[in-house]
Amino acid sequence: MPELPEVETIARQLNEVLVGKIVSQMTVYREKIFSGDKDVLIGKKITKVSRRAKVVGVEFEGFEDVVQIHLKMTGQLIFVEKTKKTQELKTDKTQVFEKRVAGGHPSVDWTNDLPSKHTRVEIIFDDDSVLFFNDMRAFGWVKITNREEREKQASSLPPDVIDESFTLDYFAQVLKKSKKPIKLVLLDQQLMGGIGNIYANDALNMAKILPTRKACDLNVSEARKLYKAVRYVIELGIKCGGASAANYVDTKGLGGTYQNHFLTYKRDGEPCNNCGEKILKVKLGGRGTFYCPNCQV
């Protein structure tokens, strides 16, 4: 599942390429994942693409409603823009160059011809560039939401871990109130927004805290270390453009590089970067949990 850094990255990248574009055509291939009247978007100009929690929001000029997109487990957003350039050779030859921005669950659709069998929504713009929403498992969704709905959503959401409102005091109070394993608390999107399995594992290793410990048992010093570690790994993830499957990273320059910085995630059996002890894997809350039995206590 794409986590906060991956969703933040694709929102920033799409903001760079979509602002100013006007919707000319929209096709919904899977009705159950779409909510709203798609026809109201025709002729609307995009003014901003942003992220809140793990939801991408697209805003339009003179239009209060916002298109919200949740990638869920296997969702992708892929922007494709083709330009033609005439090469002055012995005979003039026109070549098509493709600009592509892709984010979300990595798959061959990042680089293959589109639309594909996984394309759920296709948006064509006035300059013939296209935004595809793909989703293999069709758990993701696209919704047109009004201001009242968004305000209701915002009031029920906890602070993102990169927000100013996500303070050490807030974090410490959350831990103090919970008897759950600390890793499950970090993953609870009702308590804090944006930490997924990858970054929870690495933050706990950086803070040298065992994932199975009760959150309320952490002392002040440990809570502070973990708070700093959470902020650090999330910010590093954003800087790296998120994490991607290695076999998709280099193709056309797509994908993130945080996987090159994994401390424990999917490194079971490998040596801990800090002490050399083999990293172990257990299941916690149904999720793969990776830790160093020597460093993390």
CATH for 77? 3.20.190.10
Residue 219 CB coordination number (10 Å): 8
Residue 36: domain span: 4-156
141 and 271 in one domain? no
Residue pair 79/92 in contact (Cβ under 8 Å)? The answer is: no
User: Does residue 297 lie within any of the structural domains?
Assistant: no
Specify the number of domains making up the chain.
Answer: 2
Q: Which residues are catalytic?
A: 2-3, 54, 287
Measured over all CA atoms, what is the biggest interatomic distance in the chain, rounded to whole angstroms?
Answer: 76
Q: What is the CATH number of the domain that holds 256?
A: 1.10.8.50
**Residue that terminates a domain, selected from 136, 156, 176:** 156
Q: d(Cα 162, Cα 6) in Å, to the nearest integer?
A: 14
**Residue 185 lies inside a defined structural domain of this protein:** yes
Instruction: Looking at the structure, tell me whether residues 180 and 91 fall in a common domain.
Output: no
Q: What is the pTM of this model?
A: 0.86
Does residue 162 sit within a domain?
A: no
CB-side neighbour CA atoms (13 Å) of 191 = 20
CA dist., res. 236 & res. 281, Å (int): 23
Question: Is 84 part of any domain?
Answer: yes
Same domain, 74 and 207: no
pLDDT values of the chain reduced to their tens digit, one per residue, 297 residues: 788 999 999 999 999 999 999 999 999 999 999 999 999 999 999 999 999 888 999 999 999 999 999 999 899 999 999 765 544 444 454 455 678 888 888 888 887 889 999 999 999 999 999 999 999 999 999 999 998 888 888 888 999 999 999 999 999 999 999 999 999 999 999 999 989 999 999 999 999 999 999 999 999 999 999 999 999 999 999 999 998 865 554 445 578 899 999 999 999 999 999 999 999 999 999 999 999 999 999
Answer yes or no: do 8 and 152 share one domain.
Answer: yes
Q: What are the residues facing 281 on neighbouring strands?
A: 290
